[in-house]
Amino acid sequence: MPRSESETPPLWRNRDYNLWWGGSAVSQLGSGVSQLAYPLLILGVADSASAAGIVAACANIGYLGASIPAGVAADRVSRRVLLIVSSVVQLVLMAAVGLAVAGGHVWVPQIAVTALVQGVMSALHQAATTPALRRIVAPAQLKVAFAREQARDMGTQLAGSPLGGLLFGLARWIPFVFDAVSYLFVTLAALFIRSPLGPDRAEEKTAEPTSVRQDVGEGLRFLRRDSFLRFLLLWAALSNCTLAGLAFMFVVALRHHGASASVIGTSESIVMACGLLGALAAGRIVRRVSGFQIVVTMSWLMVAGTLGVAALVARPWPAALCFGSLVFFMTPLNVTFEARMAATVPDRIAGRVMMTTSMAAQSLKWLAPLVCGALADRFSPTAPILGLAAVFALLAVAIHLTPALRRFDDAPHTGDDTGLAAPDAAPEPATPETAGRDAEPAR
């Protein structure tokens, strides 16, 4: 019988959660280091924003293409095994990149293929993460756990960007070896967690086995029930695509104006610092501001912030503050979204629903680096940034014209016309929810 909230020990006494949180923190730090090093490496070797965009797009395409199969796997195969295998493969990949860079044999197609495989492994890892976390944390503590993971990821990215710039300045191969070692920690964390991570399919042993297609359809039917959720997925796809373009062009534009690797890393750390502040303030914000107001405010701040980046890109610190303001207001939205979904989706279909949602939200994200890189090469880095501001403006207008968003703050409907079980726990009322891993705004 589930314990009441008053009987549940605080998270700081939860051994499995702290083990997972710590291992993931080290891994996220490594990812923050290599994410900055990747575009700097390609820009240094190929001197082409388009080439850097291709590598970034490959990682996104790999993640996107593997999302639904990964979700099915997370509901069929041991989640612990998925977490370990995906981490070990990425460890090997990053070590190989580090060796290639150290040996002076950097080949852009090789880096692109590596990024593609990494995207696939990231999808497998993410598919198992949220359902596994629900096994470690009590339902009443999900929002607290997600907010802490959001703060963790922002904090590691905050430290990862300047560290990545520093390590890249010392030697180009160091950031990639650093990232490879970091995957060892999250692998050990997954290995030593005591709680069973699922999935539990004992109740289905007497039922007729289902095909992968049937499993995917079951998850899609769950999502299809909510008209607002359907609109939100479309809006998130366009928003994430545009935001990915802005993040990519932020690095390219700073480099174009002569910023060093350490300056770029520090600028990105300013953006992440704003995100960390947003994560720390998320609890108060979502309790005091309605979800609809957060969505509207964030949408128009994206327009203002993007125009600010375009105008101030020759001055790294003010440009970083403009970009950071967007991330600050996005973080409370992410926290609310993810906790709501985790609380309402049954465990047996959690992998499929979470990854289908993630795939829809990121379905266009791979396109941004390609288009922005080509426009930057053809015109200037400022041109694609202004184009991104126009897209954000159209999205902001759409928010006001869409009646479904007026129901943003309504309690989620948990009835099931598809025959699915009711959610394991009802979400706490109020506020928008994080559809980005508890830890991260769209990447």
What pLDDT is stored for residue 416 in this prediction? 39
| Spatial CA neighbour of 338 closest among 144, 69, 74 | 144
What pLDDT is stored for residue 432 in this prediction? 30
CA of residue 201 relative to chain centroid, distance: 28
pLDDT in tens, the chain (443 residues): 444 445 567 777 889 999 999 999 999 999 889 888 888 888 888 777 788 888 888 887 888 888 888 888 888 889 999 999 999 999 999 999 999 999 888 888 888 999 999 999 999 998 888 888 888 888 777 777 877 888 888 788 778 878 888 898 899 999 999 999 999 999 999 999 998 887 875 545 545 667 777 777 887 887 787 666 677 777 778 888 888 899 888 988 888 888 887 888 788 878 878 888 888 887 677 767 776 777 777 778 778 888 999 998 888 889 999 888 888 877 777 776 676 666 667 777 878 877 877 777 777 877 888 899 889 888 888 999 999 999 989 988 887 887 766 766 655 544 433 334 333 333 333 333 333 333 333 33
Long-range CB contacts (< 8 A, 24+ apart) of 389-396?
Answer: 389/303, 389/306, 389/307, 389/310, 391/238, 391/242, 392/239, 392/242, 392/299, 392/302, 392/303, 392/306, 393/303, 395/235, 395/238, 395/239, 395/242, 395/299, 395/302, 396/296, 396/299, 396/300, 396/302, 396/303
Fold classification of 12-198+212-407 is Growth Hormone; Chain: A; (1.20.1250)
Q: Exposed (0-12), middle (13-18) or buried (19+): which is 203, by Cβ within 10 Å? A: exposed
Could you count the other beta carbons within 10 Å of the beta carbon of residue 419? 7
Which residues, listed in sequence order, are joined to residue 336 by a DSSP beta bridge?
A: 433
What pLDDT is stored for residue 356 in this prediction? 79
3-state per-residue secondary structure call for the chain? CCCCHHHCCCHHHCHHHHHHHHHHHHHHHHHHHHHHHHHHHHHHHHCCHHHHHHHHHHHHHHHHHHHHHHHHHHHHCCHHHHHHHHHHHHHHHHHHHHHHHHCCCCCHHHHHHHHHHHHHHHHHHHHHHHHHHHHHCCHHHHHHHHHHHHHHHHHHHHHHHHHHHHHHHHCCCHHHHHHHHHHHHHHHHHHHCCCCCCCCCHHHCCCCCCCHHHHHHHHHHHHHCCHHHHHHHHHHHHHHHHHHHHHHHHHHHHHHCCCCHHHHHHHHHHHHHHHHHHHHHHHHHHHHCCHHHHHHHHHHHHHHHHHHHHHHCCCHHHHHHHHHHHHHHHHHHHHHHHHHHHHHCCHHHHHHHHHHHHHHHCCCCCHHHHHHHHHHHHCCCHHHHHHHHHHHHHHHHHHHHCHHHHHCCCCCCCCCCCCCCCCCCCCCCCCCECCCCCCCCCC
Q: Exposed (0-12), middle (13-18) or buried (19+): which is 306, by Cβ within 10 Å? A: buried
What pLDDT is stored for residue 425 in this prediction? 34
Contact 83, 129 (CB under 8 A): yes
Cα 227 to Cα 406: distance, rounded to the nearest angstrom:
12
Cα 172 to Cα 34: distance, rounded to the nearest angstrom:
10
What pLDDT is stored for residue 409 in this prediction? 62
What pLDDT is stored for residue 3 in this prediction? 45
Q: Which two tokens stand for residue 17?
A: 């959660």
Cα 255 to Cα 250: distance, rounded to the nearest angstrom:
9
Contact 138, 2 (CB under 8 A): yes
Cα 239 to Cα 442: distance, rounded to the nearest angstrom:
9
Cα 42 to Cα 325: distance, rounded to the nearest angstrom:
28
- Distance spanning both ends of the chain, measured CA to CA: 38
Q: Which two tokens stand for residue 307?
A: 């125009």
Q: Which two tokens stand for residue 437?
A: 């891993």
- Please give the model's pTM, rounded to 2 decimal places: 0.69
What pLDDT is stored for residue 283 in this prediction? 67
What pLDDT is stored for residue 443 in this prediction? 33
Contact 79, 199 (CB under 8 A): yes
